[in-house]
Amino acid sequence: MAVFSTCGIERPSWYSVAVKGTFYIESIRRPKDGSEAAAEIDAGTFALTRLGIVPDERQMEVLRSTAKRGILNCSRQWGKSTVAAAKAVHRAYMRPGCLVLVASPGERQSAEFVRKASGMVRRLGIRPRGDGDNAISILFPNGSRIVGLPGTEATVRGFSAVSLLLIDEASRVGDEMYQSLRPMLAVGGGDLWLMSTPCGQQGFFYETWRSGDEAWMRVGVKATECSRISAEFLEEERREHTADWFAQEYMCCFTSRDDAAFDSALIEAAMDDSVTELEI
């Protein structure tokens, strides 16, 4: 199917796009001054018409979500970072003066995420440039910023009034860093999205996924549910790796760590909250 893009092309007040067999019809109310940035447009429509991205059905669900808290537990190569980058660019472009933060396990991952976002910014006709304060950053003409953070808790403090906080490869980010990031959402009432494949039965990503807290929108997509990943490739991967590794990377399962002396489920079952602390 051909990619539908109207980047740089004048379109009428309504238009339609076919995506993976689903027919989306969007209505855009343009402002009287004709400003694209001021138009009422959701992130899904923005990705289609301004970024030239054709999301699948589940990706569109994420892009169009207005949830304040979201967690993506999805297979490798599903497109978690691409969807999150599109949400980041949409937020920065549509809301003047806002701050979008991207946290990752390390500086390299944050830089790769911002590099992907920079490519999308170029499609908007904007030449990406840094904000002058942060090494991994994009400053928009409307004063908004996307800033990539290094992977250590000690170096991420100092930001406030964050509009959107994205944590990429969240299962590999430490709990201390997560706890230091959350207060940045307090003043601005910002949104928080976690994206990752699992990494054992531990950490805030695992706990959030299994918590049952209805405040979180949960999206889980296995590799077998992604049409872009062939059955032949998955069968090859299944043969080349252990069952636990394959289940974690492609089937979104929170498997126990291979180097653990005891299974995590066994340890949890052995815990008894009624036992009081022994005073010595």
How does DSSP assign 10-29, residue by residue? ---SEEEEEETTEEEEEE-B
The pLDDT-based confidence of 233 (bands split at 50, 70, 90) is very high
The pLDDT-based confidence of 172 (bands split at 50, 70, 90) is very high
The pLDDT-based confidence of 153 (bands split at 50, 70, 90) is low
The topology under which CATH files domain 14-258 is Rossmann fold (3.40.50)
Question: Which pLDDT tens digit goes with each residue over 124-145?
Answer: 999 999 999 999 999 999 999 9
Neighbours of 170 (CB within 10 A): 27
Does the pLDDT at position 122 exceed 50? yes
Report residue 276 as tokens: 């009081």
Q: Give the range among 12-16, 102-106, 238-242, 255-259 with minimum mean pLDDT.
A: 12-16
Residue with tokens 């995420």: 113
Q: In the prediction, which pLDDT does 156 show?
A: 74
**Cα Rg of the chain, angstroms:** 21
For a pLDDT cut of 70, what percent of the chain falls above it?
Answer: 75
Residue with tokens 């126990």: 256
The domain ranges of the chain are 14-258
Does the pLDDT at position 279 exceed 80? no
State the Cα–Cα distance between residues 155 and 132, nearest whole angstrom. 17
Choose among 212, 249, 255: nearest CA to 233: 249
**Which residues is 72 bridged to in the sheet?**
195, 219
Does the pLDDT at position 77 exceed 60? yes
Tell me the average pLDDT of the chain: 82
Q: In the prediction, which pLDDT does 23 show?
A: 33
Cα 107 to chain centroid distance, Å, stands at 17
State the Cα–Cα distance between residues 102 and 80, nearest whole angstrom. 13
pTM of the model: 0.78
Does the pLDDT at position 97 exceed 80? yes
The pLDDT-based confidence of 270 (bands split at 50, 70, 90) is very low
Q: In the prediction, which pLDDT does 40 show?
A: 59
How confident is the model over 174-184, as a mean pLDDT?
A: 93
Cα dihedral 36, 40, 44, 47, rounded to 10, equals 10
CA distances from 2 to 24, 124, 129, 137 (A): 15, 20, 31, 32
